[in-house]
């Protein structure tokens, strides 16, 4: 379904609600509060009253889905979903605002709801699996040198790219060759964190790992067969051994960030990553998969941005809030002290001269 057919098919709120009821319940409404199937339709359309004596609530199909509490008219919401699903490298909320005809805040919130539905957990990765890491964040800008940041800036004089980069978001990823990808924001690329990823997502018995020579991957050898490609020695392909698939995926993500989003917050970065992964994992689908997405969005456990996320995003490790690096004041103080000493010496010298002049006069 393309965007035009979506807007043709879903003219009114009732069209959307009917479609969603069919998809979610297929004619047998279930109470989202207590799970009871005993309910009657209320006079008002598309609402149901739960007959469970302990519940007795009325509900619509939107409760417990990404649409709960959304004020955006559903037909517009559906068009927005269509636009987002069609955009291979993402679509910014400003663009959505122009295309759908709503405000930026509405488009941002709606887009975040859609991204919530795109969060998925993958397990049982098989075959050749490539693992690698990515650093996201712009170049360090020129800043005014002050007493607080003098040491920090001196460290940034030669900004590092890749490993060892300061103040960047760290993303670890694993991808099956010709298969699915999973990415995760980590606070640090320690062996422990990466091993946790391996155990959670990869079928250890049926997978062969391909990594580069990063030391944190050495702990993988206890669990899986692993081949190492030595990037430091400028070796990028050795027969079947390479990590080019995941490098290619990183380039897609970075192109999306640079081309579409421009600026992303650290806090919501995992959701954007989920969007990229969702689209990558369905890249072979010919047309946009509106119906399968709607099924995902209406299934249980999909979170809402306004409420505490019930699903996976909570488990995603958020990076710590970036504290400014402690200024190494020692150097600065020493420099100040030295300057102070020379000043004092000059003063003493001046005073001495004055005394000498005085004594000469006398
Ligand atoms: Zn109920």
CA 229/CA 225 separation, integer angstroms: 14
| pLDDT given for residue 158 in this prediction | 57
Ligand 1 center–CA 10 separation, angstroms: 29
User: Is the Cβ–Cβ distance between 67 and 113 less than 8 Å?
Assistant: yes
Q: Taking CA 73 as the corner, what is the angle to CA 68 and CA 79, rounded to the nearest 5 degrees?
A: 100
Confidence of residue 310 (pLDDT cuts 50, 70, 90): very low
Q: What is the mean pLDDT of residues 262-276?
A: 87
pLDDT above 70 covers a percentage of the chain that reads: 79
Containing H/E element for 250? helix 244-256
CA 122/CA 200 separation, integer angstroms: 9
Question: What average pLDDT does range 297-321 have in this prediction?
Answer: 53
The pLDDT of 133-158, averaged and rounded, is: 65
Span from the CA of 26 to the centroid of ligand 1 (angstroms)? 18
Distance 40 CA to ligand 1 centre (A): 11
Separation of CA 178 and ligand 1 centre (Å): 44
Q: Where are the alpha helices (DSSP H) in 87-178?
A: 93-100, 104-118, 150-155
**How far, in Å, is the centroid of ligand 1 from the Cα of 57?**
6
Query: Rounded to the nearest whole angstrom, what is the distance from the C-alpha of residue 59 to the centroid of ligand 1?
Result: 8
In this prediction, residue 315 carries a pLDDT of: 46
Task: Report the separation in Å between the CA atom of 64 and the middle of ligand 1, taken as the mean of its atom positions.
Answer: 13
Q: Mark the residues whose beta carbon lies below 5 A from ion ligand 1.
A: 31, 33-34, 36, 50, 52, 55
Q: What is the pLDDT of residue 340?
A: 65
Name the average pLDDT for the chain: 82
pTM as predicted: 0.77
CA of 51 to the centre of ligand 1 (A): 7
For residue 171, the Cα-to-chain-centroid distance in whole angstroms is 9
130-140 residue pLDDT tens:
999 998 886 65
Break the chain into its structural domains and give their ranges.
Answer: 3-118, 125-268
Residue 325 DSSP symbol: P
- Would you place residue 168 in the very low, low, confident or very high pLDDT band (cuts 50, 70, 90)? confident
- Cα 38 to middle of ligand 1, angstroms: 8
Expressed in angstroms and rounded, the spacing between residue 265 Cα and the centre of ligand 1 is: 39
Q: Is the pLDDT of residue 22 over 60?
A: yes
> Which residue, chain included where needed, has tokens 């369905």?
282
Rounded mean pLDDT, 69-84:
91
Measured in Å, residue 42 CA sits from the centre of ligand 1 at: 14
pLDDT tens for 279-305 read 999 888 766 588 888 988 887 666 555
354 or 91, greater pLDDT: 91
pLDDT at residue 152 is higher than 70: no
90-117: per-residue pLDDT in tens? 899 999 999 999 999 889 989 988 998 8
Look at residue 146 in the predicted model and tell me its pLDDT. Answer: 66
Ligand 1: distance of its center to the CA of 295 in Å?
22
Question: How many other CB atoms sit within 10 Å of the CB of residue 11?
Answer: 10
State the distance from the centre of ligand 1 to the C-alpha of 121, rounded, in angstroms: 29
pLDDT range class, residue 325, cuts 50, 70, 90: low
Please name the fold of domain 125-268: Nucleotidyltransferase; domain 5 (3.30.420)
Mean pLDDT of 150-155: 59
Give the Å distance between the CA of 28 and the centre of ligand 1.
Answer: 14
Cα–Cα distance, 204 to 313 (Å, whole number)? 25
In the block, which residue shows the tokens 């000498």? Answer: 356
Sheet holding 225-229, edge to edge: 181-186, 169-176, 125-136, 202-212, 225-229
CA of 37 from ligand 1 middle (Å) equals: 8
């Amino acid at each position: 379904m393309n965007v035009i057919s979506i807007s043709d098919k879903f003219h009114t709120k009732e069209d959307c609600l009917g479609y969603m009821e069919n998809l979610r319940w297929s004619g047998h409404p279930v109470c989202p509060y207590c799970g009871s199937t005993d309910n009657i339709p209320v006079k008002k359309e598309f609402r149901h009253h739960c007959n469970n004596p302990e519940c007795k609530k009325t509900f619509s199909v939107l409760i417990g889905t990404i649409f709960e509490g959304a004020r955006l008219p559903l037909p517009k919401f559906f068009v927005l979903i269509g636009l987002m699903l069609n955009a291979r490298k993402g679509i910014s909320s400003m663009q959505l605002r122009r295309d759908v005809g709503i405000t930026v805040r509405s488009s941002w919130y709606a887009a975040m709801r859609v991204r919530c539905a795109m969060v998925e957990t993958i397990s049982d990765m098989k075959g050749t699996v490539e693992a690698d890491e990515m650093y996201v964040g712009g170049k360090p800008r020129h800043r005014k040198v002050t007493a607080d940041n003098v040491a920090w800036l001196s460290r940034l004089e030669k900004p590092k790219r890749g490993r060892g980069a300061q103040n960047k978001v760290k993303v670890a990823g694993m991808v099956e060759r010709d298969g699915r990808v999973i990415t995760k924001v980590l606070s640090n690329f320690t062996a422990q964190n990466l091993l946790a990823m391996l155990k959670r997502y990869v079928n250890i018995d049926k997978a062969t790992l391909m990594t580069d020579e990063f030391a944190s991957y050495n702990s993988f050898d206890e669990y899986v067969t692993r081949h190492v490609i030595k990037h430091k020695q400028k070796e990028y392909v050795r027969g079947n051994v390479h990590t080019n698939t995941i490098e290619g995926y990183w380039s897609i993500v970075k192109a999306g960030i640079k081309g579409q989003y421009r600026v992303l917050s650290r806090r919501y970065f995992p959701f954007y990553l989920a969007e990229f992964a969702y689209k990558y994992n369905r890249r072979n689908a010919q047309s946009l998969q509106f119906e399968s997405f709607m099924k995902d969005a209406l299934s249980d456990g999909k979170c809402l941005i306004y409420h505490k996320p019930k699903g996976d995003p909570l488990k995603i490790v958020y990076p710590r809030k970036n504290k400014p690096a402690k200024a190494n004041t020692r150097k600065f103080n020493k420099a100040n002290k030295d300057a102070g000493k020379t000043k004092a010496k000059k003063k003493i010298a001046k005073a001495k001269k004055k005394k000498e002049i005085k004594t000469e006069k006398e």
